[in-house]
Amino acid sequence: MLMYGWMKWVEIAPQRYDWAVTVMTFGRLDHIKERIANEVRAGDHVLDIGCGTGTLAVRCLRKSAYVTGIDSSKYMIEQTQRHASEAGLADRLVVVQDSVTQLRKHFGDGSFDLIVSTMVLGEFPREYLSYVMRDCRALLRPGGRLIIADEVLPDRLLTRIFYAIGLGLLWIPNFLLLRRPLFPIADLPGVIRAGGFQIKSIESWAASSFKMVSAESPILDAATPGMVP
């Protein structure tokens, strides 16, 4: 969660954001974004939730996708537009300034082939995540894909205890810095599965609180409408 605190603080100076994220994640998040972009297919309509400065969005654009980025920060939206323009890819980019909790306000059902998100959902409590996952499933076409990479609570009990101690020590400075709490994600695969998705893969890294989950929106059998396998 120290990563979240640092990232939210540097949002007020987005020209330093990418550098700060690279330093705080030891370059791991850049690697994860490359992995996500490699799953993009030419012609895909991609929604990047919490697009930040557009580093993932531009990677997806380079795969010949049509990308929509949504972020609550106008500074980040401006950086996304600038990076896409510098790459000569702005003609396939749409940006929206709003919260991730307002997805259905802007996009219709079945609008996207792929929804991606990195280091965003930990800003929301569990009940919000359930709501967001349901919205994501509605926005995806049948068989559409979801890839979420985020900082999570460790699975192992001992590691989780040490993590909780660290959170306790950092809670006061973190709250003073951000003026709001942050919520480490417990059971990210379970959150995604509860939204009606089928989990395809789960990846984690040693000595890291990152986890990446890939999932699909099921194609419902016509004989059993509304049933999720």
Q: Higher pLDDT residue, 77 or 8?
A: 77
Per-residue model confidence (pLDDT) at position 166:
59
Which residue pairs from 83-87 have beta carbons closer than 8 angstroms and sit at least 24 positions apart in sequence?
83/53, 83/54, 83/55, 83/57, 83/58, 84/54, 84/57, 84/58, 87/58, 87/61, 87/62
Per the CB < 8 A criterion, the answer to whether 151 and 1 are in contact is yes
- Report pLDDT for 127: 85
Q: Tens of pLDDT along 142-182? A: 999 999 998 887 666 666 566 665 555 555 555 444 444 55
As a whole-number percent, the residues of the chain with pLDDT over 90 amount to 55
Q: What is the pLDDT of residue 7?
A: 54
Enumerate the domain spans of the chain.
2-216
Q: Residue 203 pLDDT more than 70? A: yes
> Which tens digits make up the pLDDT trace of 89-126?
999 999 999 999 999 999 999 999 999 999 888 878 88
Distance CA 52, CA 111 (A): 21
Predicted model pTM: 0.82
Check residue 161 and give its pLDDT.
62
At residue 103, the pLDDT reads: 97
pLDDT value of position 79:
92
pLDDT of 33 strictly over 50: yes
Confidence label for 224 from pLDDT (cuts 50, 70 and 90):
very low
Is the pLDDT at 226 greater than 70? The verdict is no
What is the model's pLDDT at position 122? Answer: 80
Between 194 and 1, where is the model more confident?
194
Q: How confident is the model at residue 210 (pLDDT cuts 50, 70, 90)?
A: confident
- pLDDT at residue 225 above 80? no
For domain 2-216, is the CATH number 3.40.50.150? Answer: yes
Q: At what angle do helices 2-10 and 17-24 cross, to 10 degrees?
A: 170
What would the pLDDT profile of 34-90 be if each residue is shown by its tens digit?
Answer: 999 999 999 999 999 999 899 999 999 999 999 999 999 898 999 999 999 999 999
Percentage, residues of the chain above pLDDT 70: 70
pLDDT value of position 69: 98
Q: First CA to last CA across the chain, in angstroms?
A: 34
